[in-house]
Every structure is written in structure tokens, then in C-alpha cells.
Structure 1
């Protein structure tokens, strides 16, 4: 897609969102974003407006928060509708052994303090421990893709084509590797376009777009060459999401009152 330069549209609210690690646009509430903190916080996420105004704090029952690193939106495992998936996949010390994705239904309404009950999906990798910050969910199939974070060389790609029953342990399947063509090698976030035709990956310094055909998995799309898109200069670049209804995307960094940037793009 052809994109304009990033524009600052707001900032995170002062207070509890001080280490934003993931963002995803709502599929139910116009102009709402869901964000969450990095490790050390409670099991909760927040709804904010595009400009950063706090709309809701949502406590997640049945969840723990070891190191939440990303949030994605996709189809619910059962019953239809839009669900949010919170990825407890950070492992800086490389000693966790197993990891968790928490699934919750999108809130029906926003405003004030709210609660959600999580479905718990436990998984491991086939070859040991990995640190990761990127959760990608196919908007049609619900297939899960995780991209690991490395300090140099190639990140690994792992897939799970269907969510297991809650509480049942699953083993991801290795599905290739990836190395950004320029800039930092540390992949910190990503998102699949709501219509399933492209994938964004964010690194510490760049944003890349990978086209995706209707018959491709996310991992197959990531095997092709990307194009670079505009990337705002943000301290500790951590989060990215497509906005519904077009090709614009939003980025957020980490820190107190971190700026929110929007990049406007034409359809490819």
C-alpha cells in the first residue's frame, strides 16, 4: 500500500498504562483500541479511544500475567463473534517451558471497570523455550501464528491451526523462519489485516507489510519478501494494529503517556 507519513493522533492516558506492549483495534466498538501492559502488571487490559482517552479497564478472571506481550483479535473458538487473545509469551530468561494464550469475548459495552472470564490455552514449542512478542491470528480460520524475538539472525515462526479445548496442552508446529530485510532484527509486534489480505510486522526500528493470498497461511505469507512502510520514531517500539474499514494502522511505544501514531494508507 501507498502510505502517508505517520501522524501523532494522541497519547496513552496518564496512570496505569505505562508499559504498553500490545494493541489491537476493536471489531465491535468504532474507534476503540485495546491495550495491555508488559510483565509485572495484573491480568487486565484497557479500552482507549484513538486519541488515547481511557474508556474501560477490564479485569480478566481465570488468568495470570507472567509476561503479556501481544494482543490480537479473531473469531471466537465457539459460538461465533469477536474475541480477544492475550499472549503470555514473553520469556526473557528462557526458562518457562510452557506458555499461555487467554481468550475473552470482546466487551459488549465500554465504560468504567469491567470484567471478563478467560478461556485458557496452554502450549509449548516443539524444540524448547522461546521469547516472543508477536501473536498473529487469521481473521477467518482463527489459526494462530507466533513469531519469536531474537537479538540477531532469524526469528522462528510457529503455528497452531486450531485452538485446543481450554486447559488442554498443545504443541506448536515449526513453520519456518524470518529475518527483516533491514533495520533491527527484533520483531516486537504484528497484526493480520481484518480481511486476511496482508500482515504487518513491527521491529524496534521498522514496519513491514507482507501480502497474503486467500489460500495462504500467515506463515506462508511471511516467507515472501515484504515492503517497508512508514515507521514513526517511538521510544521502545512495541505495538501495531490495523484499523478496521481500510488500510490505516496505528503504532504505540512503551512508556508513560506514550504517543499514539496513525499511518494512512491506500489499498494495495
Structure 2
């Protein structure tokens, strides 16, 4: 791996926290799992999660993004984390690879998330790949998101990408989640921090200059992925412990308990909006289907009247004061205080180790 990679790995341990210690993850999940499986008001989830499939292709070793095809039935997309090149995989319902696609004109510095959407202006199905990982929180001058037209056939191919460059208005940071509103086509980035945030991209993206990401609301602690519901009435943010459903930033609908995973990396909605799909890293890694609580699913079922007309404007324009709403009703999204204290302790210790390594190689 080399010294530089070792330093980044140490930083990753700080960022990943419980993801690198399954015992901590299990303890945290057990501490809040029962409460997290209920919506506000105590309504139970409809059913338990089920294993949908495992990735059969050994080249899929660090599945970091997950999306459901808007046009091909039973086709799922994923891509690896950093160091794997600008490629993504189309996978069938049995977990077998249907095709491998190379994204031309793209780099893969640290791909952390993807999204699938239908362009509201053209009706064209598109896929988004987010090169937004930054374990040093500001090491990169800007970040990139690549957009490609969804393949019409499931055969290996090279696809031309449109690259959009981004910079945060309030300074560089690490992020692992993107989501695209299905009605407006607007892109959002969710940062992965102890005090995370949701950032909105400009309504119209530019390829000839850097696009500025502006904070529009809070996000749960250490968010690893995010996705909009198919009808745009709500969105989900995944953390290492659970998932949180929102009507708008700071407006929690419910928390949903997630299956125990070694390193929870991805989340998306099923095409009917009634369930969530979630995955993790590793060879032969699983993808689980988690039914939404009845109340939450009713908000996202196709054809259900929703507040989609109001939601995008609220998301795009919600003031930072919405963080106070989160403090009252969402806070750390159910992560036990003891676990947060443990994370901080590990972070402080790891920081000392990283400093010592840096001194040795300087």
C-alpha cells in the first residue's frame, strides 16, 4: 500500500469508526435497533429485511454505490470504491454481472456514491457517479460528479461522461452520499462528518466552471449514502447504524433499522418506493431489501399524492436554522451517546498515530 496509503487507511479508521469494529457496530445496533424500527408514534415496520442477492463477480470487491435501473426491470448498478478505475457493473436479480461499463473521460479518485434518475427535461434515463470522497476533509481543490446516459443494452461498453466539478461554499469536506430529485433533477450531496450537512448543487449545472455546493440542512452523523424516493416526496440517509427518512432537511419521518453489515456503504429505493436496498463492501457482499414502515411507504408509493411540488423549494432554500429542528427530533439519528464518545476517543488516538507516521516520513 505504501506510506501514503497507510496514512489514509489510518484516517479511514477515524472516519469509519464502528465500521472497522464489528463489535461496536453490533453494540450500537442493539442499543437502538428496536426504537429505530418504529416510526414516530410507535408504528412497527411491516416486515423484516431479506437477503436479495450477493454479488457473484469477484471484481466487485468494494461496492460503494447502489442504484436501481429506472428502465430495465431487475437490473441493479454498483461501482467499487477508490482505486478501481472508472467502471460500473450492471447486475441481475441473482447477483450475477450482466455487463461492465467503462466511463470515458472520467477519473476514479474516490468514487463513493451513485444515483439513477430520469432527466425531467428530456425524459432520458441517466446515471450519476460521485467522486466526492476526501478523507482529509479539504485535500482536493474540487470534486467531480460524472453523468452518463443509461445503457440501453446490457453488453460491455464504453460510455461517454459529462463531468461537473464542485466546490463547497463553506470549505472542503468528506462526503459519501448523493441524491437527485426525480422531479426537478437537482443534485444534492450529503457530507460524512460528525456534524454532517446536506448541500444543494445549482439548479442548472455548468461544465465550463466549478459549481458551488451550498448547505441547505443537517445530516445524521457519519452518513454513508443517500437517495430520493421515486416520487420525490421524501429521501433517505444511511449511516453505519440505521437509515433515516426525511420529508425535508430536519423533518424526520421515521428511522428504519438496517441489517447488520460489516461496513454499511450504500442505500437506494426499490422502483415502487416501498422498500430500501442496502449494501456493503467486500467480495461476495450482500444486498438486502428492507421494507419501509407502512406510513413511510404510503408517502412514496407511485401515484400517491405528495408534497413534491413544495419539497424541492424547501430543500433548496431551507435555512441553516433547520439544524435546531434536527436537534429536537433527529440529532445523531439514534446513535447512542456512549458510541459517539467511543468514536471521539478512537479519533483522538488515531490522530496521534497519524501525526507520528507523518513525522517519520517527513
- TM-score normalized with structure 1 length: 0.89
Where in structure 1 are there 5+ consecutive unaligned residues?
A: 180-184, 212-220
Relative to structure 1, the CA distance from residue 73 to residue 14 in structure 2 (aligned partners, 3 Å threshold; closer, same or farther) is closer
What is aligned with 1:84? 127
Match for residue 176 of structure 1 among 193, 205, 217:
217
Query: Are 2:79 and 1:36 equivalent residues in the alignment?
Result: yes
Deviation at 1:78, TM superposition (A): 6.1
Please identify the structure whose Cα radius of gyration is greater: 2
- Residue 48 (structure 1) aligned to one of 86, 91, 100: 91
Distance 1:3 1:70 in 2: 28
The one of 172, 177, 182 equivalent to 1:139 is 182
Contact 2:170 2:214 in 1 (8 A): no
Displacement of 1:110 after TM fit? Answer: 0.7
Structure 2 CA distance, aligned partners of 1:67 and 1:3? 36
Is the Cα–Cα contact under 8 Å of residues 39 and 66 in structure 1 kept in the other structure?
yes
1:98 to 2:142 alignment: yes
Q: Please say if residues 7 and 262 of structure 1, whose CA atoms lie closer than 8 Å, have aligned partners that are also in contact.
A: yes
Q: Distance in 2 between matches of 1:81 and 1:69?
A: 24
User: What's the counterpart of residue 190 of structure 1?
Assistant: 226
- Tell me by how many angstroms 1:160 deviates: 1.3
Partner Cα distance (2:89, 2:204) in 1: 24
Specify the SS of the correspondent of 1:225: strand
Q: Of 258, 261, 266, which aligns to 2:285? A: 258
Q: Secondary structure at the match of 2:106?
A: coil
SS at match of 1:162: coil
Q: 48-57 or 114-123, which moves further after superposition? A: 48-57
What residue is the counterpart of 2:166 in the other structure?
Answer: 123
Deviations 1:59-84 (A, max 9, x none): 00010000000001123386431111
Q: Which residue of 1 aligns with 2:257?
A: 230
After superposition, give the CA deviation of every residue in 1:121-159 in whole Å (9 maximum; x if it has no partner): 001011221100010110010111111001x3x202210
1:158 aligns with 2:189: no
Instruction: Output the CA distance in 1 between the equivalents of 2:162 and 2:273.
Output: 30
The separation in 1 between residues aligned to 2:271 and 2:120, in whole angstroms, is 21
Aligned pairs, how many?
Answer: 251
How far did 1:4 drift? 1.3
Indicate conservation of the 8 Å contact 2:202/2:212, yes or no: no
Check conservation: 1:56, 1:110, Cα contact below 8 A.
yes
What is the distance in 2 between the residues matched to 1:135 and 1:224? Answer: 18
Which moves more between the two structures, 161-170 or 139-148?
161-170
Greater displacement, 159-168 / 61-70: 159-168
Match of 1:20 among 50, 58, 63: 63
Rounded Cα–Cα distance in structure 1 between residues aligned with 2:158 and 2:48: 37
- Would you say the 8 A contact 1:76–1:105 is kept in 2? no
| Larger displacement relative to structure 2 (168-177 or 65-74) | 168-177
Distance apart, 1:97 and its partner CA: 1.7
2:152 corresponds to 1:108: yes
2:192 and 2:132 map into 1 onto residues whose CA distance is 10
TM-score (norm 2): 0.66
Separation in 2 of the partners of 1:35 and 1:263? 18
Q: Which runs of 5+ in 2 are unaligned?
A: 1-38, 40-44, 299-362
- In the aligned structure 1, how far is the partner of 2:129 from the partner of 2:219? 23
Instruction: Give 1:165 shift.
Output: 2.8
